[in-house]
Amino acid sequence: MKKTLFALLTLLFTASFATAQDEGAKLAKSAGKLLTRYYQDQSNNDASLKEAKEKIDQAVQMPDAQGLYTAWYTRGEVYSAIIQKEAAMKVLNPQAAFSGDNDALVSFESYNKAFDLATKKYEKSDAIKGVGTVYAYLVDIGVAKYEAGQYEKAFLSFQGSLKAHDLLKANNQKSIFDEKERYNNQLYITALSAWQAQRCADAIPLFKKLIEAGTDQPTAYEGLYTCTLESGDEAGAQAVLDEGRKKFPEDSGLLFAEINAYLKAGKLDELTGRLKTAIAKEPNNVGLYVTLGNVYDNLYQRELQAKNDAKANEYFEEAKKYYSQGVEKDPKNVDAVYSLGALYYNKAAIRTQELNAMPEDFSAAGIKKYDAIKNEINTLFDQALPYFQKAESLDANDLNTLIALNEIYARKEDETLSPEFKKRLDTVKGGGKNTKSYFKN
């Protein structure tokens, strides 16, 4: 009796295990039947398509279905039906939204998986046919994602369209990218999406492929330069930039990339001409005036340290000119206003150091020289002051502006403004905020 009972239990367990083993296949088969029902009357069988989607999504999660051609092929068919139905609705109502995030991508990836699992010629043929039906939607959805600023999703959709193209061509099928220009355009937008999605590892081979194909897009060089630099290959990045600038000498994007590269490398002498070229292209870009003023400011300090007074004075005047032009372009640009004040302030600070380093000389000539430098320092601080006042009116919490104002008023022994700006400075240093500017904008 015990042996018989054990045998019955074993039989029941085996039957239950067998049922669990083919559950995914059964769900996939059920989804296929529901899809057939939907196609028999598409106007009245939306519920069947919805249920087919639910069942096939469950099916491919089951271990027995994950290596099953029919499960993945059915999933490709179900999602293809969904995207085609909704795309048709968008023709009538362009504002209509897709129910899924990217059903075309799900469909393509499912067909692709089915193709890899296929063992029969007709199975591979059916999977390729499915890819040919759905992959054009990947381009449309990719464009929509790109325009919405969803660059990661745009890249994945565009990448899928290129993979689909390769699969179709490998199986002697026509593709919408058969024309070289159209293929290169798709390659470009895919690379651009990867770059903007900060997926440089994906962007680099795409940009290289474009450049090898002789692209007329200078952004391909800019993208490859930026990504190569981010990868740590500075020499390789510079080679890309040099090639791009040679091929597209008038392109602003490459020009600015070159400017940033030279700034990073500290190549100040080479920068001035490039920044002037950039200003000629974008005369209302205040940031360029400030940057060029900053370059001349640094050159001024370099020559001053080298005791090349004539050259230092020349660079000082150039810095003042470009900072002033920046302020003229936009009087409320706090960087331009502050930089002009800082130019005078820093020169006053340097002259103060020189004054303090002078040996004591109580002769008439010595006293005269001392007084002349002291008067020059006071004049420089007075020249800086209105710019710092203006900068404070634009930003009451800029630390550098408050430091400068606190120092100037302390030097002037101003019993009202010196403690006022010390208090404001301490507020910001302590992590607080001044609720309003002292000076009127």
CA 323 – CA 298 distance, rounded (Å): 13
| Other Cβ atoms within 10 Å of 374 Cβ, number | 13
* pTM above threshold 0.75: no
In this structure, what are the phi and psi dihedrals at residue 293, rounded to the nearest 5 degrees?
-60, -40
CA distances from 43 to 90, 330, 332 (A): 16, 61, 62
* 3-state class (DSSP) for residue 150: coil
- Position 20 scores a pLDDT of 54
pLDDT tens digit sequence for 243-274: 998 999 888 888 888 888 887 778 888 889 88
Measure the CA–CA gap between 402 and 411, rounded to whole angstroms. Answer: 14
Instruction: Say what the pLDDT of residue 314 is.
Output: 95
End-to-end CA gap in the chain: 101
Cβ–Cβ < 8 Å for 424, 434:
yes
Predicted pLDDT at 17:
43
Instruction: Return the C-alpha torsion angle 379, 383, 386, 391, nearest 10.
Output: -130
The 10s digit of each residue's pLDDT in 193-214 is 999 999 999 999 999 999 999 9
DSSP string, 215-243: -S-HHHHHHHHHHHHHTT-HHHHHHHHHH
Secondary structure of residue 125 in the 3-state scheme: helix
String of DSSP letters for 59-89: HTTSTTTTT-HHHHHHHHHHHHHHHHHHHHH
Of 109, 103, 191, the residue nearest 146 (C-alpha): 191
Helix (H) or strand (E) holding 2: helix 2-21
CA distances from 30 to 56, 57, 60, 76, 172 (A): 8, 12, 13, 15, 33
CA 394, 400, 406, 408: dihedral to nearest 10 degrees? -90
pLDDT of 1 reads: 44
What pLDDT is recorded for position 434? 94
What is the pLDDT at residue 356? 86
Burial class (CB in 10 A: 0-12, 13-18, 19+), 372: exposed
Domain ranges of the chain: 23-178, 187-265
d(CA 427, CA 28): 67
> Which tokens is 190 given?
């895919």
Side chain identity at residue 152, one-letter code: E
Judge contact between 154 and 195, C-beta under 8 A: no
| Domain boundaries 187-265, corresponding CATH code | 1.25.40
Which residue in 152, 160, 140, 159 sits closest to 76, CA to CA? 160
Which residue shows structure tokens 């969904």?
A: 82
Q: Are 111 and 73 in contact (CB under 8 A)?
A: yes
Which structure tokens are listed for 96? 């209509």
- Per-residue model confidence as pLDDT tens for the chain (441 residues): 444 444 444 444 444 444 556 898 999 999 999 999 999 988 888 899 999 999 999 999 999 989 999 999 999 999 999 999 988 888 888 887 788 899 999 999 999 999 999 999 999 999 999 999 999 999 999 999 999 999 999 999 999 999 999 999 999 999 999 999 999 999 999 999 999 999 999 999 999 999 999 999 999 999 999 999 889 898 999 899 999 989 998 888 888 888 888 877 788 888 898 899 889 988 999 989 999 999 999 899 889 888 899 999 999 999 999 999 999 999 999 999 999 999 999 999 888 888 888 888 778 888 888 888 889 999 999 999 999 999 999 999 999 999 999 999 999 899 999 999 999 999 999 999 999 999 986
Give start and end residues of each alpha helix (H) in 118-251.
Answer: 121-147, 151-170, 180-196, 200-212, 218-230, 234-247
